[in-house]
Structure 1
Amino acid sequence: MRVYVPLTLSGLARLHTARELGPAPLTAYAVTPALREWYLSGNEEELEYAALSRAAAASLRLVATDPAVARRRVVVAAEVPDRVAVADPDLALSAESLGEVRLTEPVPVVWLAAVHVDAEEAAADIRAAADAVGAADQGDDDARFTVDGAADHELLWYGVQELDRLL
């Protein structure tokens, strides 16, 4: 199963050093039955993009919680055995949790398929969005607009073999 794990650049550096993502459990995003049902008209590629986008939003929240990390979203795509990714049926009831899965094992680097990272040019908008997350959660429409603006930046695709260059 293809999963998308939200990280920060610091988390990506730890993954590179440790040669695995962990410890488990880890939160990731995937094309779950609930996500598939929500996007009735989407083909598989569109559903994968929706899962990636949800992971990017979760990465923004990770950036928002740590002022010391670089202001860029990071998502790691991995192919994990189906037994490792568990969808909680209770989470499927919430629109915010669509596609969310729990990874029950650490993810070794050999399972990684790609790395998605914001371009450096996105840093100012990602910083503004990270700063606005709390207010957006409290219902501030201007803050919500700023947070939603982060999605205007497409994450760049990198091969796993490019980790050294990225870091």
Structure 2
Amino acid sequence: MRVYLPCTLPGLARAVTVGELGPGPLSGFAVTPALVEWYVSGDTEELEYVALMEAARASLRMLAADLADGFDAPARRVVVAAEVPDSAVLVSPDLNDRGRVRVQESVPLGKLAAVHVDDVDAQEDVAAAVSALSSADDGDDDAQFIVDSADAHELLWYATQEIPDILP
């Protein structure tokens, strides 16, 4: 199963150092039955894009958590696409968590299919989105607009052999 795992650049660097993303369980996103039911008119490519963007939003939350912990990570969303055995993936039973999955084990670097990362030009909007997340969660429409503006930046696609080139 193709799973989209939210990450950060420091998290990706750690994965390269240890040879895997993990340890499990890891939160991720995939084309699940609930996602297919919600997005009835979408083909596989569109559904995978939705899962990718959900993982990108989760990457924003990881950046916010790092910032809250006093860790300054580059304000760039990172999503790792990996091929994970179906047996290692638990699909959320909550229909409101349309594409959310739980990968029960670590993911070796050899199972990565690609990495999606914001361009450096997106950092200002991503940093603003990270700062606005809490207010957006509290229902502030202006803050939600700022968070949504990060989605206007397309994530760049990198082959796994290019990972060293994107690390800080």
Classify the TM-score, shorter chain: over 0.9
The one-letter code sitting in structure 2 at the alignment partner of 1:14 is R
Give the residue type in structure 2 aligned to 1:102: R
CA separation in 1, counterparts of 2:66 and 2:132? 14
State how far apart, in whole Å, the 2-side matches of 1:63 and 1:20 are.
20
Counting only pairs closer than 5 Å after superposition, residues 146-165 of structure 1 correspond to structure 2 as 146-165=146-165
Equivalent in the alignment of 1:73: 77
Q: Deviations over 1:35-56 (max 9, x none)?
A: 0000000000000000000000
TM norm structure 2: 0.95
Q: By how many angstroms is 1:16 displaced?
A: 0.7
Per the alignment, in what secondary structure is the counterpart of residue 144 of structure 2? Answer: helix
Q: Distance in 1 between matches of 2:39 and 2:106?
A: 29
**Cα offset, 1:88, TM superposition:** 2.3
Alignment of 1:1-167 (within 5 A): 1-67=1-67, 68-89=72-93, 91-92=94-95, 94=96, 97-167=97-167
Q: How far apart are residue 129 of structure 1 and its match?
A: 0.3
Q: Secondary structure at the match of 2:151?
A: helix
Identity %: 58
Residue ranges of structure 2 left out of the alignment (5+ in a row): none
Q: CA RMSD in A?
A: 0.6
Moved more, 62-71 or 11-20: 62-71
Secondary structure of 1:71 counterpart: coil
User: Could you tell me how far 1:20 is from its partner in structure 2?
Assistant: 0.2
| Cα distance in 2 between the residues matched to 1:135 and 1:60 | 14
Q: Distance in 2 between matches of 1:147 and 1:132?
A: 6
Which has the higher mean CA deviation after the structures are superposed, 121-130 or 60-69? Answer: 60-69
Which runs of no fewer than 5 residues in structure 1 stay unpaired? none
Shift of the alpha carbon at 1:152? 0.1
- Deviation beyond 4 Å, 4+ runs, structure 1: none
